[in-house]
Amino acid sequence: MLLHDATSCYQALLTHDARFDGVFFVGVRTTGIYCRPICPAKTPKEENCVYYAHAAAAEQAGYRPCLRCRPELAPGNASVDAIGELAQRAASRIEDGVLSEISVTALAAELGVSERHLRRAVESAFGVSPHALAQTQRLLLAKRLLTDTALPVTQIAFASGFQSVRRFNSVFQERYRLTPTALRKNVPALPAQTEQTLDIALTYRPPFDWSGLLGFLKSRTLAGVEDIDGDTYRRTVRWQEHTGWLSACAKDNERVLRISLSLSLAQALPPILARIKSLFDLGASPHRINDVLGALAADCPGLRVPGAFHGFETAVRAILGQQVSVKAATTLASRFAAALGELVATPFANLTHLSPTPERVARTPKQELIALGILETRALAILALAQAAVEGKISLEPGEDRAATLKALVALPGIGEWTAQYIAMRALAWPDAFPHTDLGVKKALGETQPTKILEIADAWRPWRAYATMHLWRSLEAKQ
């Protein structure tokens, strides 16, 4: 898909404007290479440039990724309505690596549409087919791992989502005109690789209020599952049969989040990286958000909306947080995790348990939850949520149908509008979620009438979740 405003794109390219990093890519006709707008190479002549909204579209047009600016490192984009909700949902599932396991037909059925309609939506939004989008993501992840890690090529092939090393080598050479081994030979020096750790850098668009994000998460940390040590976030991880841990730390002026993962998670990299990006809201475009929020965002332009690594975990935490203080809810949630979470070995003394799964929670007697200090109404709400998740009636991941998920949530006992909107804000990563009945929102606005609050917030669409975070932050600043 070509971008229409070529003049604006070229101006961003001339100034190496980081605000547009990942928003578009530029193909250079004279070299056959495509770059990020921040590429340090000499800027090509305007008549030699063609612009694409997605790396997959550039690659389908025959361009190869630049070895200097490395398009695989470009930040993603937040979920907004501009490209259509179906395309967003499909892209989210494809980023998880779903097309390495099921067909496009099966994905369409999962999303409740025909295969033809799915293909049309994805091609309209990204300029390529679902299969081509998935193939580009696999290749770019492989390129990143070949350049940034010392993982064996065979392990990289499977970690990137390829079903065989032979297929990986064939597609890589066909698309990039060199073999994986040849690419690795061009790397000046591979990073030191321990036997237990995989290190990856994820980019974001500045500014980024990392300390504010950590502060929010720290006050809600699940003891044993999560830990914050200085400027580093750590947590245990379960993805299907894979278990391990991760840590994340942002370095000033680098525009990257440094991620370390246990090697036990290498075969589940696509979905894990997608959830890390969601947890830390790495796809946000601060300048777009702040242009809409105006004065509300002036004091903290790099604020992010904390997402969720496990949607079910965050939803349970939201239920436990109903009408109690953040500290009290965190105590209950930590007690809940310790009682129902599976023990896991990590090199960190404060990481001892995996987050409880819906399956484990669903088979827990109500009285066992009540014995933890959880009110009966909330225990019933948690059990109903777990059962709905186990039965596939509800899924709490980015990319899910928001309207259907919100409807399913409020239909459960003990879950009202506030809880549903909070879950949508964090677990579904919906930037326009707005818990307008929240007491903090009311206090920050000096308004108690829900209809008036919604009227005020209408000016903040489609970024009302960010507005909520700014309102909460304004209360903390007054304390």
* Phi, psi torsion values for 275, nearest 5 degrees: -75, -30
Segment holding 249, helix H or strand E: strand 242-250
Single-letter amino acid, residue 124: S
Contact 361, 383 (CB under 8 A): yes
- C-alpha–C-alpha distance, residues 140 and 384, integer Å: 40
Strand order in the sheet with 232-239: 197-203, 256-262, 242-250, 232-239, 226-229
Structure tokens, 117? 């309609």
69 tagged catalytic: no
- How far apart are alpha carbons 302 and 280 in whole angstroms? 12
Beta-carbon contacts of 233 under 8 Å, excluding residues fewer than 6 positions away, are 214, 217, 226, 227, 247, 248, 249
Amino acid at 367: Q
Reply yes or no: is the peptide bond before residue 462 cis, omega within 30 of 0. Answer: yes
Q: Is 438 a catalytic residue?
A: yes
Other C-beta atoms closer than 10 Å to the C-beta of 248 total 20
SS3 content of the chain, % helix, strand, coil (to 5): 50, 10, 35
DSSP result, 365-383:
-HHHHHTTT--HHHHHHHH
With contact defined as beta carbons under 8 Å apart, do 383 and 364 qualify? yes
> 165-173: which pairs have CB atoms within 8 A and are 24 or more residues apart?
168/142, 171/135, 171/138, 171/139, 172/139, 172/142
Query: Identity (one letter) of the amino acid at 335?
Result: R
Distance CA 78, CA 82 (A): 10
Three-state secondary-structure class, residue 397: coil
Q: How far from 240 is each of 102, 165, 330, 465, CA to CA, in Å? A: 16, 23, 26, 30
Identified catalytic residue from 21, 209, 227, 438:
438
Residue 430 token pair: 């919906």
With 0-12 / 13-18 / 19 or more C-beta atoms within 10 angstroms meaning exposed / middle / buried, residue 283 is buried
Q: What angle (nearest 5°) sits at the alpha carbon of residue 125, between those of residues 124 and 127? A: 65
Dihedral of the CA atoms 417, 422, 424, 430 (nearest 10)?
Answer: 120
Q: Which residue among 9, 21, 35, 49 is the active-site one?
A: 35
Q: What residues act catalytically?
A: 35, 438
